[in-house]
Chains A and B, each alone.
Chain A
Amino acid sequence: MKKILISILIFGLISLIGGSGIQVARAVGTALDITMTAGSLSISNSTAATASYTGKTVSITEQTDTATIGDATHTNTTGIEVTDLRGSGAGWSNVMTVTHLITKGTVKKLAGSNSTVDFTGTYDGLNGVLNPNGTFKVEITTGGAVGTAVFKWWDPAGTLTETVTTAASVVLSNGITATFAAATYVTADSWSAGVDVFPYNYETTKGLTATPSDIYASSGVTTGVTAGSAELMAGTAATSDPKTVMTAAVNSGFGDYFIDVGLSQTIHPNSLSESYTSTATITVS
């Protein structure tokens, strides 16, 4: 009987509480998610596709010419642009290489009457600074039409190559090709083309000094992002060793970064008076 009474009592109290309108909060959970897809690490030179040195007059003394990849304002969106949209914090390294500043003069007819020989291609500058300036020289050793006539040629260092049969196009060396248009070539006919170079590195201390500017972050912050040092480009090949322009340490470099690179080039005395060109290749990885 007691148990029945106690049960009825409990049941009654519960009913009383329920009937009095006391309510308990009810809650449910919903999981939300959004996926951020990694973009890419990229580099652009759209605002600095070309850079021109100020230009100099040929001189009997050594000179220095300057240029900037980008501009003189280091807080704008002109210059080399590195964009990291990977969202990984992996960090990155931006480097540049350059070729020698080189030129090739117009062809000179040294002997004979045919103006049917030309020199084409881009000189690689690997013969270095020569005094007097180097030339590619071709001389007919056996007369005849193209394909029959034979010639010998010298590279800028004076190295002789003999007994080469003429053709419409004959590769010489260092990026230069001799072209023979249709004509009757005569023994001793001769032509030359001057070449010259402002190397990116020569005589230990001369050449191209690249000076990365301060870095401008158009998006993100420069914490952990550093400019490379001002230094002479190094190397012995047609293309220099890579030189660091800017780097982002691990867990840094999220965003969009601009940098200008100041250039200072040694101009040797008594150069050819031509337009000199080189190519800077700028990469990020």
Chain B
Amino acid sequence: MTSQTAHAIALQGLVKTFRGHDGPVRAVRAVDLAVERGETVALLGPNGAGKSTTLDMLLGLTEPDAGAVAIFGSRPREAIAAGEIGVMLQTGALIGDLSVRELISMMASLYPRPLDVEDVLELTGILSFADARTQTLSGGQTQRVRLAIALVSDPELLVLDEPTVGLDVGARRDFWTTMRAFAARGKTVVFATHYLEEADAYADRVVLMAHGQVVADGPTTEIKAMVDVHSIRATLPAVDADALAALPGVTKAERHGDTVILTCSDSDAAIRALLERYDDAHDIEITGAGLEQAFLALTSDQSQPTVNEELLA
């Protein structure tokens, strides 16, 4: 396999267990993933799903206990040395005592075929503060500089680990606009996020992770429908929970005293059916469930790795 025909990313059977206070923590258990050139893939999952550990293994920052990583057919270290990967790690600030322009030039000098520094400053919208010292920047500006560092090697693959955490809505939108312009050059982008909206807006494909496993992998629209769970809470005495669970659009029903909580895959259908059949239901609330809840709903009854195929079937 040459680097021209290889997958952009091929992860096979990745496993990583950390030593925790209460025994071993299985951060990643058997992750397989293939990403083609030019794809924009979101790694979506709640905190602790194993996204960062997976990306750390992808980048060679963490050695997997088992499994193999190939980036354009090479080992991570080789792909990094060739300047094929641009990275924005989840945490990290900038070293001080340099201007933004100097810092980008410093990083550009490490790569075999860097982009022109001025072009990168323009692409990432940091020309206006290119002469400012790095320690004086705002959070949003710092993220832009970190993106510029990731882009300066003119990488084929961009890896972003929760790149917009802590940014306000405007800064977040600006960030993705820049990222999209870069992806439009035929680059491969993989980003971890726990915002469904972000995955929905910017990825072609979503890889859903929970408990260290890939629980679903498919086009964004499909995954969104699966994860976009709502719950209906209503006061409704004297109706069996099993009967409620059988309503259209309802995946799960629970009773707490007079209150019922319906977890719904289609809350519109569920609310219509509920009111039609039980017109004494009152104090009704519909809430969008967080990802955390959606994942619990997805994985609660089927915690085996086979969930993957079943969900997509």
Question: A and B: partners?
Answer: no
